[in-house]
Chains A and B, each alone.
Chain A
Amino acid sequence: MTFEYAPAPESRYIVSIKPKYGHFINGSFVAGKKHFPTINPATEEILSHIALGGVTDVDKAVMAAQKAYTKTWSKLSGKERGKYLYRISRILQERAREFAVLETLDNGKPIRETRDIDIPLVAAHFFYHAGWADKLDYAGLGHSPKAYGVAGQIIPWNFPLLMLAWKVAPALATGNTVVLKPAETTSLTALLFAEVCQQAELPEGVVNIVTGDGSTGAAIVNHPKIHKIAFTGSTDVGKKIARAIASTDKKATLELGGKGANIVFDDAPVDETVEGIVNGIFFNQGHVCCAGSRLIVQESVAEEIIEKLKVRMAKIRVGDPLDKNTDLGAINSKEQLLKINKLSAVGDAEGAERWSPQCKLSDKGFWFPPTIFTGVTQANRIAQEEIFGPVLSVLTFRTPQEAIDKANNSPFGLSAGIWSEKGSRIFWASQHLKAGVIWANTFNKFDPASPFGGYKESGWGREGGKHGLAAYLKNGKETGAK
């Protein structure tokens, strides 16, 4: 007897999408000049048209943010700033389902994730930072640390609203105003967030949202009135930003790529580990900068782990992101699907062995099955480059030191996982791993109280927790922090 899942789609009628959007500048929506379509990546249906912001739009937004900073926001006490953030958090909680459905439509990620992970974390992030606004004296940065002024924030498409929260909440809590650009393919929840700012009666100009593409982002980075850049995205663009601001006094935090090592020692609990590997790489279609995309497993248990992993992968439900039973949704864009296909083909060519379970993929939309490559060596491109998709590269090791060496053999250093029942080994490994976030016997856990960010080419600075506040407050001793 086999059990089949009946379709369990979440209703999309909770959201209403306008045919066309402008920018959100100085507290209200202003019409854009040129527009581009935004689609549902699961169906390729055009959802709306998004304004393509240019230098003039960015300038207007920066001027509004500058004025808001000088006239209102910097004059408010932390206590009052905090109350606006609490309001935003509460409104996000009230409208959580609407945001979850809209995010799933625009991004392609499963409703289970937007509903249970993304949106609750968004509200939590605002709530947490609301509480910091009047406690900055306790952040360890000296007495009355000062804001930069206008922060320019550029966010990616993999966790659209969550990345907005990671950027906007600490910036506002610390007294900065912001000009934010959502990713080209996922602007809708940011534009709905603009409505939340209006409902919260946030003073006009404190949050400005300019939609667009890379050129819009460049206009933000290069604007002379922006003193602080916060970027999450690819390492390539991160390096471009670092070069662009090199001869200026601008400060930046960069949250870039990763090639997370998920290390499995021979004493790891097998079933939990397999579950953790699946969560590590197939969460959010693998569109996760901190994904555990390299499985580094001890040789003596590799066969057993891989076998069980394949059995588990065959149970992953790929399909309609709005279906509450879906585990793996759509790839966010055609462009990203091409990149995943291309790097996977490189894996084949380099001699690694590809395996995917049988799954029926829709003709419309962008899809990629959960995939593992075994027999991968350190020199292979699929062991070095970020694929940013549901593709796992498997390497093996014999001694704990070899595991560390392989894990650290990467230009990135964002995350790592350790699977072992032995506490001392976990702490030993975590001491030697060059990564900003290390999960032991778990993976892909996020909390506003926990700092996030990477070593090496995974970026600069941390977001979240007490550490994240430093990114938005001047260090009095550092030159150029004006």
Chain B
Amino acid sequence: MATKKESRVEVKKTYKLFINGAFPRSESGRVFEVTAKNGDFIANSALASRKDLRDAVTVARAAQPGWAKATAYNRGQILYRIAEMMEGRADQFESEIALSSQMTPTKAKALVSEAIDRWVWYAGWSDKLQAVSGATNPVSGPFFNFSIAEPQGVVAIASADNFLEFIDALGAAIVSGNTAIVLVPGALAVPAMSFAEVLATSDLPAGVINLLTGSLDELAPWAASHMDIDGFDISGIAKKKQGALKEAGAENLKRIHSFESGKSPARILAFMESKTVWHPVGI
């Protein structure tokens, strides 16, 4: 028998998209190379096409009423379940972020911890938003009048190239009952696709979150002009390129917002609509 121990060949992951709870390749067959900070090859990540975006919008639209109809408690529990799954893969996220970004392992570790806690923070908002933002309005007359916030529908996100900002944008968009399509730039594809694996095992209904990896320069204008997208978080787009997207989005008066990094309930409410109901009072 051979005595010399053979070095084991690693089994590598194929990078694909995440649409409707499944992992398809880009219909275009295109890929882009993701490399480590030292230039080593990591993956051929799927380069999403306009058709992939359209497919993602279709499934996100179909999934939206069901997600919004789930009780706030149920949505909160599903989001929390996602955090539980993230915690179990914390090491993987840390090493992937350290490998594919400029971050040191120590910084990556801190970032992943913060990202998990941040996701829990969003989970807790599901059944508290109305208590903070809703109101009964003391109108002058015999009417019971109240305002509640409702999700807008389908929200696209052009994510910044940072895992925590990706988490911020996504948590804010979906906790209220929107469904989302995240445009994932460059090497963020590496932790983002692991996040997709978390989602696939977290009781999240298919289509609520869809991830398209590729180029924001390509994807963002398509999203901005898509007539069946209601909101667009363009926090990951450079300031000088935002005007063109807002102009394209004006066609269906998309709610387009860009946020500084960090958490705020205002970010959740930006992708919600306020609805006011009048009801008479009298015998």
Q: Could you tell me which A residues sit within 8 Å of B by CB distance? A: 79, 82-83, 86, 124, 127-128, 130-135, 138, 140, 400-401, 423-425, 427-428, 431, 448-449, 465-466
Contact = CB atoms under 8 A, between A and B. Distances in A.
Interface string B67-100: 0000011001100100000000000000000000
B81 to A, nearest CB: 10
Contacts of A400: 283
Given A86-B80, A424-B279, A424-B282, A130 B124 contact: yes
Contacts of B283: 400-401, 424-425, 428
A163 to B, nearest CB: 20
Contact of A79 (B76, B117, B131, B279): B117
Interface in B123-176: 123-128, 131-132, 144
B127 A128 contact: yes
B124 A131 contact: yes
B127 A131 contact: yes
Nearest to B116: A83
Given A86-B80, A425-B283, A431-B281, A466 B131 contact: yes
A401 B124 CA distance: 43
B262 to A, nearest CB: 14
A83 B282 contact: no
17 contacts: A82-B124, A83-B120, A86-B120, A127-B73, A127-B80, A128-B73, A131-B125, A131-B127, A133-B124, A135-B124, A424-B279, A427-B281, A448-B127, A449-B72, A449-B131, A465-B131, A466-B128
Nearest to B144: A427
B117 A127 contact: no
Nearest to B126: A131
A135 B73 contact: no
Contacts of B120: 79, 82-83, 86
B281 A466 contact: no
A86 B77 CA distance: 10
B39 interface: no
B32 interface: no
A134 B121 contact: yes
A428 B279 CA distance: 11
Contacts of B127: 128, 131, 448-449
Chain A CB within 10 A, most for which of B80, B123, B124, B144: B124
B280 interface: yes
B265 interface: yes
Contacts of B80: 86, 127
B128 A131 contact: yes
Contacts of B125: 131, 135
Contacts of B77: 127
A138 B131 CA distance: 9
Contacts of B279: 423-424, 427
B281 A131 contact: no
Interface in B21-77: 72-73, 76-77
A268 to B, nearest CB: 15
Nearest 6 pairs of A and B residues by beta carbon: A131-B124, A466-B131, A427-B281, A424-B280, A427-B144, A424-B282
Nearest to B131: A466
A131 B72 contact: no
Contacts of A427: 144, 279-281
Given A79-B120, A135-B124, A448-B127, 10 more contacts: A79-B117, A79-B121, A128-B73, A131-B126, A131-B127, A135-B128, A140-B132, A401-B283, A428-B282, A449-B128
B280 A423 contact: yes
A424 B281 contact: yes
